[in-house]
Amino acid sequence: MTSPSLYWLRNDLRLADNAALTAAAAQGPIIFLYVLDDETPGEWRLGGASRWWLHKSLAALGTRVPLTLRQGAADIVIAEVLAETGATSVHFARDHAPWSPALERRVKDVAERAGASCHRYGGMLLHEPEAIRNGSGEPYRVYTPFSKACFAAGEPKPLRPVPSFTAWNGPAASDRLEDWGLLPAKPDWAADFPQYWTPGEAGAAARLEAFIDDGLAHYADARDRPDRNVTSRLSPHLRFGEVSPAQCWHAVRAAQLAAGGKLDRASEKFLKEVLWREFSYHLLHHWPSLPSKPFRPEFEAFPWSGNPHGLHAWQKGLTGYPIVDAGLRELWATGIMHNRVRMIAASFLIKDLLIHWTEGERWFWDTLVDADIASNAASWQWVAGCGADAAPYFRIFNPVLQGVKFDPQGAYVRKWVPELARLPDALIHQPWAAPALVLATAGVELGRNYPHPVVDHGTARDKALAAFQEIKGAA
Ligand code: FAD
């Protein structure tokens, strides 16, 4: 009997365009191993919403291939599975989380000790982080030249089809997915998630197709509008590798070509956003402390406030600023928040409430279905002003003006903050400015069914700028 090859599934829960799977298939019958490893990432073990997604994605994949599910430190589990099955090769896709290089070295060691060959492949990114360097051979710190270098590096490789493979039918003990407890216990805060998401490779492909048919044409003009449904919502599918960035790239290029120039602007804009993901990983790879330490060290001395009351109000969507509250409530109900609103909500936490950006990063880590160690950290640092190529700290979003500009009729706020739904468009982003009669007619009682603002934005802004002055001298 041909000995099996072990394919260690990680953030690549798909069969198509999968170099590791293609190589494993060429070696012999495959053991499809997924390890739920809460030990190696330590404080960055998967958050609640990601666990929900993982359960559903593995369930979907499990209808197509037999999965061997194990729990524990991945290198130890792989050593055990190699000993139990006599697999003679290990194949996996490279990952770029800060703990991954050491883990991947340990996996190589255990494979070699078991007499198995070990093979690592790319695919999670369009370009390996070492491949894109500036003229001096250094990693990039600024997005625009980075993205230009990516475009100059050429189109991604052609896609790999699903390989023909044989699944190994020898014995390999597996946990039951249901026993992992990935889904929420009561109360089921994810009860509405299935309305919004279909985790798995088929769901990802359907989402990509729907975006190209309905969203792409409007993407360049309306991607900043949370009241319009034009962005791709591919982020959780990309996060779990149910679709590869190369598949997204080629699909958009094909649509662009077919449209004979009509989609040029939209396509470029979309591909540039995909390159923000790439840039986040580039930064994380070269600066692995990104999730916990400010890229600009002077921010270590920033006088953050503890403010547990403010943090709680923010998390619950009860700050009294409608666009911020709508975002946090959208997040809780769906596991996602529109990008523009993420920026507004993050700015509010950091600059209006003076709460450390890592508190917001951690809340997002737990509640986003697309919680991604690189994009989350890089984006929070970007908003805080302490990241590479970040928005300057003194640029402070005004949540009222942002609401008026990006949700002009208040449709987004009306959807997620229904207690304000009957306010007129002109006042929906600042209910405290409404005359008593207007509030009463709309059924809004500030302090009773919708909060007063937790801070006055103007005063908070001055405080934030003063705090920034304190560290500016240290820069
Ligand atoms: P689209 O607009 O359709 O973009 C296509 C893809 O490009 C996205 O799916 C995503 O993979 C990538 N992308 C787009 N914008 C960005 C960006 N600014 N940074 C990195 N990649 C981007 N994105 C995550 O995937 N995971 C996170 O944990 C995450 N945390 C964030 C935290 C904050 C404070 C902010 C401001 C942004 C964060 N983002 C994160 C980036 C961005 O908000 C999401 O990628 C985007 O909203 C996903 O929606 P979409 O798939 O419809 O995006």
**250 in Cβ contact with 159 (< 8 Å):** yes
Q: If you take atom 45 of ligand 1, which residue's CA is the nearest one? A: 235
pLDDT mean over 464-474: 84
How many beta carbons lie within 10 A of that of residue 130, not counting itself?
10
Distance 234 CA to ligand 1 centre (A): 9
pLDDT tens digit sequence for 311-364? 999 999 999 999 999 999 999 999 999 999 999 999 999 999 999 999 999 999
Distance 207 CA to ligand 1 centre (A): 15
Contacts of 262 (CB under 8 A, 6+ apart): 217
330 lines ligand 1 (CB under 6 A): no
CATH number for 125-158+201-286 (one of 3.40.50.300, 3.30.300.30, 2.40.10.480, 1.25.40.80): it is 1.25.40.80
Residue 134 a catalytic site member = no
Distance 231 CA to ligand 1 centre (A): 10
User: What does the domain layout of the chain look like in residue ranges?
Assistant: 5-124, 125-158+201-286, 297-470
Q: What is the pLDDT of residue 472?
A: 78
User: Long-range CB contacts (< 8 A, 24+ apart) of 307-310?
Assistant: 307/353, 307/354, 307/355, 309/454, 310/349, 310/353, 310/355, 310/454, 310/455
Q: Which percentage of the chain shows pLDDT scores above 90?
A: 93
Residue 304 a catalytic site member = yes
Distance 383 CA to ligand 1 centre (A): 13
Residue 339 a catalytic site member = yes
Contacts of 165 (CB under 8 A, 6+ apart): 21, 24, 25, 29, 30
Q: What is the pLDDT of residue 275?
A: 98
How far is it, in rounded angstroms, from Cα 453 to Cα 437?
A: 19
In the numeric block, which tokens belong to residue 30? Answer: 């495959």
Q: What is the pLDDT of residue 246?
A: 98
pLDDT mean over 156-168: 96
Distance 247 CA to ligand 1 centre (A): 17
Q: Does the pLDDT value for residue 306 go beyond 90?
A: no
pLDDT mean over 267-274: 98
Q: Does the pLDDT value for residue 470 go beyond 90?
A: no
Distance 42 CA to ligand 1 centre (A): 24
pLDDT mean over 392-398: 90
Q: What is the pLDDT of residue 272?
A: 98
**Residue 371 alpha carbon, nearest atom of ligand 1:** 28
pLDDT mean over 270-281: 98
Q: Strands 67-71, 89-93: parallel, antiparallel or unpaired by DSSP?
A: unpaired
Q: If you take atom 48 of ligand 1, which residue's CA is the nearest one? A: 235
Mean pLDDT over each residue of the chain, to the nearest integer: 96
Domains 5-124 and 125-158+201-286 belong to one CATH topology: no
381 lines ligand 1 (CB under 6 A): no
Tokens 């290198």 sit on residue: 75
In the numeric block, which tokens belong to residue 80? Answer: 């055990």
380 lines ligand 1 (CB under 6 A): yes
pLDDT tens digit sequence for 226-262? 999 899 999 999 999 999 999 999 999 999 999 998 9
238 lines ligand 1 (CB under 6 A): yes
Q: Does the pLDDT value for residue 408 go beyond 60?
A: yes
Determine the residue of 223, 225, 235, 323 to mutate for testing ligand 1's pocket, defined as the one with the most ligand atoms within 8 A of the Cβ atom: 235
Q: Does the pLDDT value for residue 152 go beyond 60?
A: yes
Residue 382 a catalytic site member = no
In the numeric block, which tokens belong to residue 448? Answer: 């009773």
280 lines ligand 1 (CB under 6 A): yes
Which entry of 104, 201, 273, 278 is annotated as an active-site residue? 273
Distance 375 CA to ligand 1 centre (A): 7
Q: Does the pLDDT value for residue 86 go beyond 90?
A: yes
Residue 446 phi/psi, 5-degree rounding, is -60, 135
Report the largest interatomic distance among the alpha carbons of the chain, rounded to a whole angstrom: 82
pLDDT mean over 289-297: 96
**344 in Cβ contact with 397 (< 8 Å):** yes
Task: Spell out the CATH class of 5-124.
Answer: alpha beta
Q: Does the pLDDT value for residue 91 go beyond 60?
A: yes
Q: What is the pLDDT of residue 392?
A: 84
Determine the residue of 370, 386, 412 to mutate for testing ligand 1's pocket, defined as the one with the most ligand atoms within 8 A of the Cβ atom: 370
Residue 432 a catalytic site member = no
Q: If you take atom 50 of ligand 1, which residue's CA is the nearest one? A: 233
Distance 162 CA to ligand 1 centre (A): 27
Residue 197 a catalytic site member = no
Confirm or reject CATH 1.10.579.10 for domain 297-470, answering yes or no: yes
Q: If you take atom 18 of ligand 1, which residue's CA is the nearest one? A: 276
- pLDDT band of residue 186 (cuts 50, 70, 90) is confident
223 lines ligand 1 (CB under 6 A): yes
pLDDT mean over 92-109: 98
Q: If you take atom 3 of ligand 1, which residue's CA is the nearest one? A: 232
